[in-house]
Amino acid sequence: MQNNFDLKLLHGTESYVGDLLRSLRIWREFRKGFRALQHVEKCVTFFGSARFDENHDYCKLAYDMAYKVGKVGFSVMTGGGPGIMEAANRGARDAGALSIGCNIRLPHEQVPNPYQDISVSFHYFFVRKVMLLKYSSAFVLLPGGFGTMDEVFETATLMQTGKICDFPVVVMGSDYWKQLGPFLEKTMLGLGTIDRKDLHFLKMTDDLQEALDIINVPHTCNIV
């Protein structure tokens, strides 16, 4: 039976020695990711569901977008699994671009796809999310479930709070996300839980060239 590292971490109070040993496992996971990805540059991370069949329109959209960004010199990073992630990795591979997967070890569903030049597997979700964010200067959001929502809103939160730079987040698959815009603008902005300037973090389009133009605009990031 596979050890559930996240469940044990978040289970409650444990001995100091137990927590210390776990912190060393976490450090080793970070070190593994940093070593594997240390030479990754000019990268776009794709977020999306593992549950769509490869023939689904959303997978085709992911493939086409990844192929397009790969052709202009970007690396492509995904969560390393099937579905939309596999389609994006395959698009990058077919374009001759570096294809990267940061996989999460789960008892079901998440099996690393075969279209990765660099593949790193993690036990901890939060370590994996750091890797998906650290090396990219743009993000493509495609339809997905709780994990995809978690990833995109954490990305927006980190931009909002100045923890990462204001890199573009392109939202694709507009039929799926058609309630997202009204929710952000009418509900969240209307009730004051976000500011109007926060809306610029997400840009929705299904047009491949428009999405590429958004990603391809030079972005400055001043880090003191």
For the stretch 23-37, pLDDT in tens is 999 999 999 999 999
Say whether pLDDT at 199 is over 70: yes
Residue 112 near residue 106, CB atoms below 8 Å = no
pLDDT 10s digits, 4-18: 666 677 777 778 888
* CATH number for 86: 3.40.50.450
Residue 4 near residue 104, CB atoms below 8 Å = no
Mean pLDDT of the chain: 91
Report yes or no on 95 lying in a domain: yes
Q: In terms of Cα–Cα distance, which of 40, 55, 218, 215 is closest to 141?
A: 215
Distance in angstroms (rounded) separating the CA atoms of residues 184 and 103: 30
Q: Is 80 helix (H, G, I), strand (E, B) or coil?
A: coil
Tokens for 110?
């998440």
Report how far apart, in Å, the C-alpha atoms of 224 and of each of 20, 41, 66, 161 are.
32, 20, 32, 16
The domain tally of the chain equals 1
Report yes or no on 3 lying in a domain: no
- What is the extent of the structural domain holding 157? 15-216
Q: In terms of Cα–Cα distance, which of 127, 88, 84, 86 is closest to 104?
A: 127
**Placement of tokens 């660099």 in the chain:** 118
Report yes or no on 167 lying in a domain: yes
Q: In terms of Cα–Cα distance, which of 28, 152, 160, 21 is closest to 84?
A: 152
Tell me, what's the pLDDT at 3?
53
Report yes or no on 224 lying in a domain: no
Report yes or no on 8 lying in a domain: no
Report yes or no on 10 lying in a domain: no
Report yes or no on 9 lying in a domain: no
Q: Is 224 helix (H, G, I), strand (E, B) or coil?
A: coil
Say whether pLDDT at 207 is over 90: yes
CA Rg, the chain, in Å? 18
Tokens for 117?
């030049």
Report yes or no on 2 lying in a domain: no
Containing 62, the helix (H) or strand (E) segment is helix 57-71
Say whether pLDDT at 139 is over 90: yes
Say whether pLDDT at 110 is over 60: yes
Q: What is the pTM of this model?
A: 0.91
